[in-house]
Protein backbone atom coordinates (compact mmCIF):
# COMPACT_ATOMS: atom_id res chain seq x y z
CA UNK A 1 0.00 0.00 0.00
CA UNK A 2 2.95 2.30 0.59
CA UNK A 3 3.64 2.47 -3.14
CA UNK A 4 0.01 3.39 -3.83
CA UNK A 5 0.19 6.26 -1.37
CA UNK A 6 3.50 7.50 -2.76
CA UNK A 7 2.17 7.32 -6.31
CA UNK A 8 -0.96 9.29 -5.37
CA UNK A 9 1.11 11.87 -3.53
CA UNK A 10 3.36 12.32 -6.57
CA UNK A 11 0.38 12.49 -8.95
CA UNK A 12 -1.24 15.15 -6.78
CA UNK A 13 1.94 17.26 -6.84
CA UNK A 14 2.18 16.89 -10.61
CA UNK A 15 -1.48 17.83 -11.04
CA UNK A 16 -1.01 21.05 -9.07
CA UNK A 17 1.71 22.13 -11.51
CA UNK A 18 -0.30 21.52 -14.71
CA UNK A 19 -1.16 24.58 -16.79
CA UNK A 20 -4.82 25.62 -17.02
CA UNK A 21 -5.27 24.46 -20.63
CA UNK A 22 -4.38 20.89 -19.65
CA UNK A 23 -5.92 20.87 -16.18
CA UNK A 24 -9.25 19.20 -17.04
CA UNK A 25 -7.53 16.28 -18.81
CA UNK A 26 -4.89 15.99 -16.09
CA UNK A 27 -7.60 16.00 -13.42
CA UNK A 28 -9.46 13.22 -15.25
CA UNK A 29 -6.23 11.20 -15.36
CA UNK A 30 -5.65 11.80 -11.65
CA UNK A 31 -9.16 10.56 -10.82
CA UNK A 32 -8.50 7.44 -12.92
CA UNK A 33 -5.29 6.86 -10.94
CA UNK A 34 -7.26 7.20 -7.68
CA UNK A 35 -9.81 4.69 -8.98
CA UNK A 36 -7.04 2.19 -9.73
CA UNK A 37 -5.45 2.74 -6.31
CA UNK A 38 -8.79 2.33 -4.58
CA UNK A 39 -9.48 -0.89 -6.51
CA UNK A 40 -6.14 -2.28 -5.37
CA UNK A 41 -6.84 -1.34 -1.74
CA UNK A 42 -10.29 -2.88 -1.98
CA UNK A 43 -8.83 -6.12 -3.37
CA UNK A 44 -6.47 -6.29 -0.38
CA UNK A 45 -9.36 -5.59 1.98
CA UNK A 46 -11.37 -8.42 0.46
CA UNK A 47 -8.41 -10.83 0.50
CA UNK A 48 -7.79 -10.19 4.19
CA UNK A 49 -11.50 -10.17 5.05
CA UNK A 50 -11.03 -6.82 6.74
CA UNK A 51 -13.90 -6.03 9.14
CA UNK A 52 -14.03 -2.41 7.96
CA UNK A 53 -14.42 -3.36 4.28
CA UNK A 54 -17.89 -1.85 3.85
CA UNK A 55 -16.93 1.46 5.48
CA UNK A 56 -13.80 1.63 3.34
CA UNK A 57 -15.77 0.94 0.14
CA UNK A 58 -18.32 3.60 1.05
CA UNK A 59 -15.62 6.20 1.72
CA UNK A 60 -13.95 5.45 -1.60
CA UNK A 61 -17.28 5.70 -3.43
CA UNK A 62 -18.14 9.05 -1.83
CA UNK A 63 -14.72 10.50 -2.65
CA UNK A 64 -14.83 9.33 -6.26
CA UNK A 65 -18.37 10.63 -6.68
CA UNK A 66 -17.28 14.07 -5.46
CA UNK A 67 -14.27 14.05 -7.78
CA UNK A 68 -16.37 13.08 -10.81
CA UNK A 69 -18.82 15.88 -10.05
CA UNK A 70 -15.92 18.29 -9.66
CA UNK A 71 -14.50 17.16 -13.00
CA UNK A 72 -17.79 18.17 -14.65
CA UNK A 73 -17.47 21.63 -13.12
CA UNK A 74 -13.83 21.86 -14.22
CA UNK A 75 -14.79 20.99 -17.81
CA UNK A 76 -17.37 23.79 -17.65
CA UNK A 77 -14.65 26.30 -16.75
CA UNK A 78 -14.27 25.83 -12.99
CA UNK A 79 -10.50 25.50 -13.11
CA UNK A 80 -9.98 27.63 -9.99
CA UNK A 81 -12.41 25.46 -8.02
CA UNK A 82 -10.56 22.37 -9.19
CA UNK A 83 -7.20 23.85 -8.25
CA UNK A 84 -8.49 24.77 -4.80
CA UNK A 85 -9.61 21.20 -4.18
CA UNK A 86 -6.30 19.82 -5.49
CA UNK A 87 -4.24 22.21 -3.41
CA UNK A 88 -6.20 22.33 -0.14
CA UNK A 89 -8.90 19.67 0.12
CA UNK A 90 -7.41 16.51 -1.40
CA UNK A 91 -4.16 16.56 0.59
CA UNK A 92 -6.13 16.75 3.83
CA UNK A 93 -8.72 14.18 2.74
CA UNK A 94 -6.02 11.71 1.70
CA UNK A 95 -4.09 12.26 4.93
CA UNK A 96 -7.28 11.72 6.95
CA UNK A 97 -8.19 8.62 4.94
CA UNK A 98 -4.75 7.13 5.51
CA UNK A 99 -4.73 7.82 9.25
CA UNK A 100 -8.22 6.41 9.76
CA UNK A 101 -9.14 3.83 7.15
CA UNK A 102 -5.78 2.68 5.84
CA UNK A 103 -4.07 2.57 9.24
CA UNK A 104 -6.95 0.47 10.52
CA UNK A 105 -6.42 -1.81 7.55
CA UNK A 106 -2.70 -2.26 8.12
CA UNK A 107 -3.12 -2.08 11.90
CA UNK A 108 0.42 -0.79 12.20
CA UNK A 109 1.56 2.80 12.53
CA UNK A 110 5.15 1.69 11.91
CA UNK A 111 4.10 0.30 8.52
CA UNK A 112 2.68 3.68 7.53
CA UNK A 113 5.84 5.50 8.55
CA UNK A 114 7.79 3.72 5.83
CA UNK A 115 6.29 6.11 3.26
CA UNK A 116 6.22 9.22 5.40
CA UNK A 117 2.77 8.66 6.86
CA UNK A 118 -0.27 10.73 5.98
CA UNK A 119 1.66 13.98 6.07
CA UNK A 120 3.33 12.99 2.80
CA UNK A 121 0.30 14.61 1.13
CA UNK A 122 0.47 17.84 3.08
CA UNK A 123 2.60 20.76 2.07
CA UNK A 124 3.19 23.84 4.13
CA UNK A 125 0.75 25.71 1.90
CA UNK A 126 -2.02 23.09 1.95
CA UNK A 127 -1.71 22.77 5.71
CA UNK A 128 -2.02 26.47 6.45
CA UNK A 129 -4.62 27.59 3.91
CA UNK A 130 -7.51 25.16 4.07
CA UNK A 131 -10.18 26.61 1.76
CA UNK A 132 -9.59 30.29 2.25
Q: What is the pLDDT of residues 27-67, one digit of tens each?
A: 999 999 999 999 998 998 898 888 888 998 999 999 999 99
Q: Would you place residue 12 in the very low, low, confident or very high pLDDT band (cuts 50, 70, 90)?
A: very high
Q: Where along the chain do its domains lie?
A: 2-128
Q: What is the pLDDT, as a whole number, of residue 4?
A: 78
Interatomic CA distance for residues 127 and 87, integer angstroms:
9
Q: What is the pLDDT, as a whole number, of residue 6?
A: 82
Instruction: Please choose, from the candidates 24, 25, 16, 19, the residue with its C-alpha nearest in 3D space to the C-alpha of residue 84.
Output: 16
5, 26, 47, 77, 115 from 1: Cα distances, Å = 6, 23, 14, 34, 9
Q: Would you place residue 102 in the very low, low, confident or very high pLDDT band (cuts 50, 70, 90)?
A: low
Q: Is the pLDDT of residue 110 over 60?
A: no
Amino acid sequence: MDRLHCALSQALKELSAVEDLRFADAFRNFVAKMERSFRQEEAWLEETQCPSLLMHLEEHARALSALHHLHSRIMAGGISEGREVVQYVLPHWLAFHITTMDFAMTNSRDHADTYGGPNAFLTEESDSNVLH
